Chain A
Amino acid sequence: MIYILAAILSLAMAGLETFSYEGFVGRHLGISAQYMYLASILLSLAGTANLSPTFKKTVLWLSLITTAGYIASIFTESITYPNFIFSRTHINLLTFQTFLFLSVFHAMVINRRKFLLPFLIALLVYVGGEGVGKTLGSMYRGIRTIVSDPTASYDSKMDKAYPGFYTAMQLIKELTPQSATIYIPPQANPWETEGNGAMVTYFLYPRKVLNGPLEGAPKVDKDTYIMIAKGSWKRTGDIDYGWPKVTIDANRIWRFDTQTKILTELTNNYDPKRDAWDWGLIEADYE
């Protein structure tokens, strides 16, 4: 009997904390809920008295409903946003998972299973429930994206992932020979993507990619090109947008409109005051 009381008490505490937060019981009632959970689990070793089949079945069904409810909550949270469930229902999913474990554990014990088997099954349900909910959410989100635009090309998908940057890379690839050296901005805010050598190399290989200096012109050689980049990241420091920051002698310069994928070619030198574009390219003049 004492075990049944402990089980009910632990479930009640877990239930309270499910609708509030972990530590609620300790804060308001002065006893840590975790100790009660542990006590109820250990007291299950004492065995259960003869309980009515109806009670046993009810407890089992409650644990099944709890499992289904938990999976549904996790799934819903994973297809909306973090804290969605708490904000709408005041159910704390972390403590709900604890409640799930306890309900499955006690349901198995009450249905005449010895301590270890319920413990293992409850743990499998504990990890399995979270896994099923989150996996189903991941599946739903992924399939929803596919269904929204099933015939999207790889280019359009990359453009969505890296707006502006991906198209700029494709245009640079079209305009430059494979033996070219491409200077990119220094890897610093606000050029954290377009200044990232590894990232740019992925798209432009086998072209050689080098970071240029913040001030001053990069060293020019045959087939040298210099990226024009305003900076795709929000400015967080002292460095202003726009690179390169000095005039550069050029055979040609191109302005990229990454929305329409239109190039504008000009045959003047690069002037940062006049040519401060979002994206572009300079074919450096080398003699």
Chain B
Amino acid sequence: MNSLLPIAAVSLGWIITGYPFAYLTANDRYERLGLAFLLGGGLTTVCWFIAYNLGFSLTIFSYTVVAIITWITGYVLSHRHKVTVTSKKDNYQNIDIFLIAVVVLALLSAFLIGSYNPLTAWDSLALYDFRAHAIAIDHNLKFMENSIYYLSYPLMISLSHALVYMIGGVSAQGLHAIFFASLIVVVYARLKEWTNLRFALIGAVLIAYSYQLFEHATFAYTNLPYVTYLIAGFCYLLSGKFKHVITGSLLIGLSSWIRISEPFWLLALPIVIWEAWKRKSLLQLLPLGLIFAVRYIWLSYYSPLMANLATAGVDGEKYSLDNIPRIINSIPAVISYLRTYIVYPYHGYWTMLIPISVFCFQTKNSRLIWLTVLSILTFGVVAGGVMIFSGFYTTWDQIGDSAKRMILYIVPLALVSGVYALYLRYDRGYGKNN
């Protein structure tokens, strides 16, 4: 377990650097910690990458300088915008304490298991963690600049792992349980603001004990951190205030810093536009810039390198309208693929959309409507994406497990939607008195 201290050090560093930014958004102290971890990790690794592109090596020294500058920026911003803390003391009953205990148990277990087990998952060894080791050895990214495979994903997770290795850790896998903890804390805090303590805890328990997410918290893939930033981002976007929209947009942008091929970041755009339309202010569209800025930081590095390396699609296919007949012919196979890898593994969650959709009509609650629309659009985006893929890649149907992992975020999205819908229809005034 000789990686515990390095992981703790990296996590603490992220929380410290991210705290001033989290202070601007969150009133709840636990929410601040979870949000600080996410913002600190995302912002410092992005800035570290920018520093590399400006000519600095990827060392602990350069990271520390970047982290200090990031913290100072956050400190100045938070000092200029004083936040009035209005959180009220929660009245915990025995059942609430029990629910908190079971969540803590799950998180501690995930952390212990992830920290104890060695890194053996294929994509970790071949890609994410390999890049981390290479960065920790070379302190640059030259090793990946001639490889389409190593360039295929952005660098947040690899840089995070590299930090652990640079300060003496042997395995960075335990960090992923802390991403999981941040997801639960942020979702809990958002649900608490939207509903009440009890419903927030029910949501937290359901997410902590969704086995798909729990297992991902015990190995070093990028899917869980991606889900964390995406769901946290959507939760903030739907929280109403402009500061939340800014934070949500930043988190969505940072999700692209983990995985950029997935198109789910697009689903944030209509929400931001709608919020701006509600407030009748074009300035409220500025958070969109945060999403595009983070994406641009990676794409401006990646695209020229890929242009040199890649000549056509992976299987030698050219992108052209001639592939449309193939797409049409693939429709039965696409339907079968979607049923096997997208619908069936998560059929309980997809089915929740039925009662939740009806609740949307009954309650006319805009947040619930958006959560439902996000789920429906997710399916649409995935179905459309798979159809297009089928036209250009002959091996499109051989990576079903990858598709299953890609859609993992439907689990917390459906659970948040379900718990929120339940509150809207079931609340007996518990929240009003609590």
- Contact of B170 with A by CB under 8 A: yes
Main secondary structure of the interface of A (DSSP, over half): helix
Q: How far is the CB of A150 from chain B (nearest CB, A)?
A: 8
What is the interface residue range for chain B against chain A?
35 or more
Collect the chain A residues with CB atoms within 8 Å of residue B254's CB: none
Interface string of A116-139 (1 = CB under 8 A from B): 110111011011101110111011
The 8 closest A-B pairs by CB, nearest first: A142-B113, A134-B211, A127-B348, A198-B126, A120-B355, A139-B109, A157-B118, A131-B210
A-B contact pairs, 18 of them (CB 8 A): A120-B356, A120-B359, A120-B418, A120-B421, A120-B422, A121-B422, A123-B418, A131-B206, A131-B211, A131-B214, A134-B211, A135-B211, A139-B109, A143-B112, A198-B125, A202-B125, A202-B129, A202-B133
B116: A residues at CB distance < 8 A:
142, 145-146, 157
Q: Does B137 contact A (CB under 8 A)?
A: yes
Tell me which of A116, A119, A139 contacts B113 (CB under 8 A). Answer: A139
**Residues of A close to B52: CB separation below 8 A:** none
Chain A residue at smallest Cβ distance from B113: A142
Q: Which residues from chain A sit less than 8 Å from chain B, CB to CB?
A: 116-117, 119-121, 123-124, 126-128, 130-132, 134-136, 138-139, 142-143, 145-146, 154, 157-158, 161-162, 198-199, 201-202, 205-206
Chain B residues near A145: list those with CB within 8 A. 113, 116-117
Which residues on the A side are within 8 Å of B143 (C-beta)? Answer: 205-206
Would you call B218 an interface residue if the criterion is a C-beta within 8 Å of the partner chain's C-beta atoms? yes
What 1/0 mask marks residues of chain B from 36 to 59 whose CB sits below 8 Å from any chain A CB?
A: 000000000000000000000000
Q: Is the CB of A123 within 8 A of B109?
A: no
* Cβ of B354 under 8 Å from chain A: yes
**B209/A135 in contact, CB under 8 A:** yes
Contact assessment for B170 and A205 in the assembled complex, using a CB-CB cutoff below 8 Å? no
Q: Shortest CB–CB separation between residue B331 and chain A, in angstroms? A: 26
Chain B residue contacts of A121, Cβ below 8 A: 422
Chain A residue nearest in CB terms to B214: A135
Q: Which of B2, B138, B211, B351 has the most CB of A within 10 A?
A: B211
**Residues from chain A with Cβ under 8 Å of B134 in the complex:** 205-206
The smallest C-beta distance from B232 to any residue of chain A, in angstroms, reads 20
For the complex, is B349 an interface residue (Cβ under 8 Å from A)? yes
**B425 and A130 contact, CB distance less than 8 A:** no
Contact B211–A198 (Cβ < 8 Å): no
B130 part of interface (Cβ distance < 8 Å)? yes
Distance in Å from the Cβ of B381 to the closest Cβ of chain A?
Answer: 22
Q: State in angstroms the CA–CA spacing of A198 and B208 once bound together.
A: 33
Do the beta carbons of B130 and A205 come within 8 Å of each other?
Answer: yes
Q: In the bound complex, what is the Cα–Cα distance between A206 and B138 (angstroms)?
A: 8
Given contacts A117-B426, A205-B137, contact A138 B112 (CB under 8 A): no
Contact of B358 among A116, A127, A199 (CB under 8 A): A116
B106 within 8 A of A: yes
Name A132's contact: one of B209, B351, B421, B422 (CB within 8 Å).
B209
10 more A-B residue pairs beyond the given contacts A116-B359, A138-B211, A161-B118, with a C-beta to C-beta distance below 8 A: A120-B422, A123-B348, A127-B206, A127-B349, A131-B211, A131-B214, A135-B214, A157-B118, A158-B120, A202-B125
CA distance A127 to B426 in the complex (A): 19
In whole angstroms, how far apart are the Cα atoms of A202 and B355 in the complex? 48
